[in-house]
Structure 1
Amino acid sequence: MTARLDGRALNRATLARQFLLSRADAPVLDAVARVGGLQAQEPQEPFVGLWSRVAGFDPGDVDRLLGQRLLVRLHLMRRTVHLVTADDAWRWRPRHHALLRQRILGTWRRELTGVDLDDLAGRAAALLADGRPRSLGDIGRALAVGAPGPAPRVLGEAVVAALVPTVQLPPRGTWRSAAGARYLPLSAWLGRPVPVEVDPAAADAAGADLVRRYLGAFGPAASADLRAWCGLAGLPQVVAALREELVSFRDVRGRELLDLPEAPRPDADIPAPVRFLPAFDNAVLGYHDRGRIIDDAHRGLSVAGKRLVLVNGRVGATWDAAAGGGVAVVPLRDFTAAERAEVAEEAERLAGFLARPPAGG
């Protein structure tokens, strides 16, 4: 008989995989890989996500790893900017190419009607081959010259978000930086070829790697959760091929959940500390069914850019930086006296972290 896991058990499993049950004593590069990357369209948000996950986190480590090209920022899962390891960018970007192209067409279908996207991609690749960093606007304006059609912004976004694998260069995404995004081809930045699309012969292996990595960071989870995280279609066949190496559970609704056999599934009664999450954190967004971590009544907060506070493992408040320093917390439910004290203590620690100056500042 298949074992059942209630919401609390799934919650603790997620917290453990995402280093939110206890902070990881691990290098930042390893932590980013093990949580499946961090959503990063808001450039400063991953720093809070890592502060809540990594013991003794130093934001300068992210700056250093970006400069060393070991961490990269690029459009990836769900066409959102993610902070991932260079190795994962190299593995995962080809597997997402068709999705990225489909999503950009969905956004700009009317504007791109009649545009030969393969020709546009070829012209963009030739433009970027000189190795000069360019902004989205620079790329769009260069491609628009002598070619009546979509506005430069549409052309630029189509290129950097979909048609050509590109990376956002530092200082974008470094601590306390407000630098705009400039782009280079991912292959040039990594110093190794990055296929535009995954080779059909390697597609199953690439999909299997993605499934294992997702379950390691977010399991136990359903196939619908996997798709919600990455946005990719066609993975059920990969999951079916992996079944013999996975274990199966049922949730309280009867959905089948799959997992890696040796992945942590802590006791549901283990205490969960208060944790402050950044906007769009994947610990919440990484599922189709987010009930393990946020109540349905508050689900909209997870896609509205609200920063969330986990209290006893679940979203119990929102937070923001307060004017003049400090952290302002808005509860979503009544807290016990012990919960209020723990939230206040963690908020004070977070305020101290946010006040840290940039390197050399």
Structure 2
Amino acid sequence: MTNRSTAIPQLSWSDVCGRRLDRHGLSAPVRDGTPADAVAAMCGAHAQVLSAAEVSIGLRVAGATRADVADALWRERSLVKTFGPRGTVHLLPTRELPLWTGALSAIPPSSTTMPADARLTPDQTDEVIAAVAAALADAELTIDELSTEVVARTSPWAADPVVPAFGGRWPRWRQAMHLAAHRGALCFGPNRGRKVTYTSPRRWLPGLQPAPAADALAGLVRRYLHAYGPATPQQFAQWLSAPRRWATELFDSLASELEEVEVDGSPAWVRAGDTEPPPTPPHGVQLLPYFDAYTVGCHPRNRLFPGPAAQRALAGGQAGNFPVLLIDGTVAGVWHQRRSRRSLDVTVEPLTPLTVAERRELDDRVERLGQILEEKPQLTIGTVLVGGHA
């Protein structure tokens, strides 16, 4: 995996933070970019909480608001809401759907605790995905409507209530829902009142065809290392929720494109030649929302969440469950927002006292948060009493 034709470049943790902040548009928001550009740069915006995705994107695009993200998603259709890395809801750039579907559908399936007699067979999985694609080709369906269509287009086994769910059991076919998105058969449509709908991503990108697996996976590794490198195959596997051995073999297959570096003495990889430190040290205060890509994708965790930050801002070692205060690229606290009647109450809990300059910049960050969410903000420095997001 290593190109040892020259001495191994050395990078400090400060160098790594500076590179990542620059490439995420967090050192300074991009002035001529679009929401789709920002999402491409961070390799997808986690959208389990859509308002959090709006903030993630708005932080990275100068002057952008939640309305701009909504326009990109539902009017321009330059963004698509679908199941992305780790099978979680993401916004992805529409133009990159061939790469994402090609790569995500090529990841080996993870182990399952589902009893053998409850699982879908490979043939049943293919049948379900074909049914989903046909049902959604020109429609926006709620989950119940989609379920009715899938069962009608397959067989009664698809309706068997065997999948454990909140307060009950889902029908068997829903085991293939994320895979249907990964193969380009399903994405989210606009809400119908309070109900979620699903539709076909080909309504965003006509003629969508997943890219060949090898090309797509290589492209995804390149994008990941640009945004989150230096990184290891194990960290890439964690980001995708993929098998570690598979990720190591993938990095090995791309050895000619990768270069080993050392970060404070620990080995990691970047794209070959991409070893320069940033022009300036990491700097600035940021308020990153739930599941922000920087928080979730950056490693090692013990450097990103140093000391008390690991206890306060990680949930059982999992990143993203708390909105975080970021100072100079490293987690330095948590925060929470409460919205009511067009007001935005923001509580920030720093883990160490803020300098005068940091407090001044925090005021600016809260003001920017209000601009993104189109509400008037009010800042309180104090203890955050709300627990982590599930």
The interval holding the TM-score normalised by the smaller chain is 0.7 to 0.9
Show the counterpart of 2:88. 80
Are residues 1:113 and 2:118 paired? Answer: yes
Q: Map of 1:210-225 to 2, 5 A cutoff?
A: 210-225=220-235
- 1:139–1:247 CA distance, 2 compared to 1 (3 A): same
Are residues 1:51 and 2:58 paired? Answer: yes
- 1:114–1:339 CA distance, 2 compared to 1 (3 A): closer
Cα distance in structure 1, aligned partners of 2:53 and 2:142: 22
Cα distance in structure 2, aligned partners of 1:217 and 1:77: 15
Show the counterpart of 2:287. 276
Q: Map of 1:258-269 to 2, 5 A cutoff?
A: 258-262=270-274, 265-267=277-279
Superposed CA deviations along residues 241-272 of structure 1, whole A, max 9, x for unmatched, are 433343331122422332352476315x6251
Which amino acid in 2 is paired with 1:119? Answer: Q
Which amino acid in 2 is paired with 1:251? Answer: V
TM-score (norm 1): 0.83
Superposed CA deviations along residues 184-223 of structure 1, whole A, max 9, x for unmatched, are 233354221434xx6xxx3322221111111121122222
Show the counterpart of 1:9. 15
**More strand as a share of residues:** 2
Q: Which segment drifts farther, 4-13 or 159-168?
A: 159-168
Cα distance in structure 2, aligned partners of 1:85 and 1:319: 28
Q: How far does residue 297 in structure 1 lie from its aligned partner after superposition?
A: 3.5
User: Gaps spanning 5+ residues in structure 1: where?
Assistant: 173-177
* Alpha-carbon RMSD: 3.0
Q: Which segment drifts farther, 329-338 or 7-16?
A: 329-338
Cα distance in structure 1, aligned partners of 2:275 and 2:82: 28
CA contact (8 A) 1:284 1:294 kept: no
Instruction: Give the alignment partner of residue 187 of structure 1, picking from 172, 188, 202.
Output: 202
Instruction: Give the alignment partner of residue 329 of structure 2, picking from 304, 313, 325.
Output: 313
Which amino acid in 2 is paired with 1:280? Answer: F
Q: How far does residue 2 in structure 1 lie from its aligned partner after superposition?
A: 1.4
User: Gaps spanning 5+ residues in structure 2: where?
Assistant: 1-6, 163-168, 377-390
Cα distance in structure 1, aligned partners of 2:119 and 2:36: 43
2:50 is paired with a residue whose SS is coil
Show the counterpart of 2:305. 294
Q: Map of 1:101-140 to 2, 5 A cutoff?
A: 102-103=109-110, 106=112, 109-110=114-115, 113=118, 115-116=120-121, 118-123=123-128, 125-126=130-131, 128-130=133-135, 131-140=138-147
- 1:332–1:121 CA distance, 2 compared to 1 (3 A): farther
Superposed CA deviations along residues 79-125 of structure 1, whole A, max 9, x for unmatched, are 111111112222111321254x835x726x13862543532542453
CA contact (8 A) 1:316 1:333 kept: yes
Superposed CA deviations along residues 255-312 of structure 1, whole A, max 9, x for unmatched, are 2332352476315x62511111111112121145223432244452553621112122
Cα distance in structure 1, aligned partners of 2:339 and 2:201: 38
Cα distance in structure 2, aligned partners of 1:171 and 1:45: 17
Which amino acid in 2 is paired with 1:169? Answer: G
Q: How far does residue 78 in structure 1 lie from its aligned partner after superposition?
A: 0.9
Cα distance in structure 2, aligned partners of 1:32 and 1:304: 17
Cα distance in structure 2, aligned partners of 1:312 and 1:115: 47
Q: Which segment drifts farther, 295-304 or 206-215?
A: 295-304
CA contact (8 A) 2:288 2:326 kept: yes
